[in-house]
Amino acid sequence: MPKLVWLNGEVMPLETATTSVADHAHLYGDGLFEGIRIYNNKVFKLDEHLRRLYHGIAYLGFEMHMSFEELRATVLDVCKQAGIESGYIRLNVTRGTGLGLDPKAINRTPNVMIMVNTLSLYPPEAYETGLNVITCSFRVIPPDSLDPRVKCIGRYANNILAKQEANRAGAGEGLMLNHQGYIAECTGDNLFLIQNGVIRTPHPSSGILQGITRDTAIMLARQAGLTVEETFLTPMDVYTADEAFLTGTAAEVIPMISLDGRKIGCGTPGEITRDLIRRFREHTNTGVPF
């Protein structure tokens, strides 16, 4: 099936798609993005992703000319044209086009891109064996610099540096702390810990991206009768947990079995984690059909 790109109203194959070298995201990272999953010809959590995108548009002051409803319909139409049964959508909105940091000096018509592709962040066996994680030296960007709820393209340079650090250590992921020493998130995932049957996850004010899959995992856990607490955590909480797992659109729900060479629990995916993975996979059938 074709991998397609919709760019400012024109559909083209991914292999031939191009954008301006003067795009403000290309020059300065001045853009927003969402990664969205397709499961069984349905777009998962589409409205939630679009709401976060439009909150970011308001925060950064983009002069967006497409309404929520127009963009939603366009995403579904491009997915239908691509015909990919299960895949990954990359949705970008940038401030506009032009050289110069000052937005007053550029064409402020946003560039909007919808890419329909496939993505597999981890091999299938990692969901059975779990990930080994290290604590990275790179801290998350503090909210007085950039609100962590904004999925801004430019902020991910920091996450990439942390991911490279994890790669050099041979780890599956890297855990990032905030400047107070509390756990924030992994380079591309949110963290959950389980101890004595209670699930805990960093509070949004810890400096996390409040992930769509994170919110879904909280909802599914509470539906299962489990207690979920959003709180402040340190690496010691990870070292002493019974189970741990990570969540993200690309990662979905995946077990975490160690931090810094220390086993979490028995060092294998736990029962609650496995149950939540099963519940999440069942829940992916609730997407928007196209």
Question: Which regions of the chain does DSSP assign to beta strands (E)?
Answer: 4-7, 10-13, 31-39, 42-43, 87-94, 111-117, 131-135, 173-177, 183-186, 190-195, 198-202, 227-231, 243-248, 252-259, 262-263, 288-289
Q: How many residues does the chain have?
A: 290
Catalytic residue among 104, 151, 163, 263: 151
CA contacts within 13 A on the Cβ side of 165: 19
151 noted as active-site residue: yes
User: Contact 78/114 with Cβ under 8 angstroms?
Assistant: yes
C-alpha span between 195 and 192 (Å, rounded): 10
Q: Hey, which residues are catalytic here?
A: 151
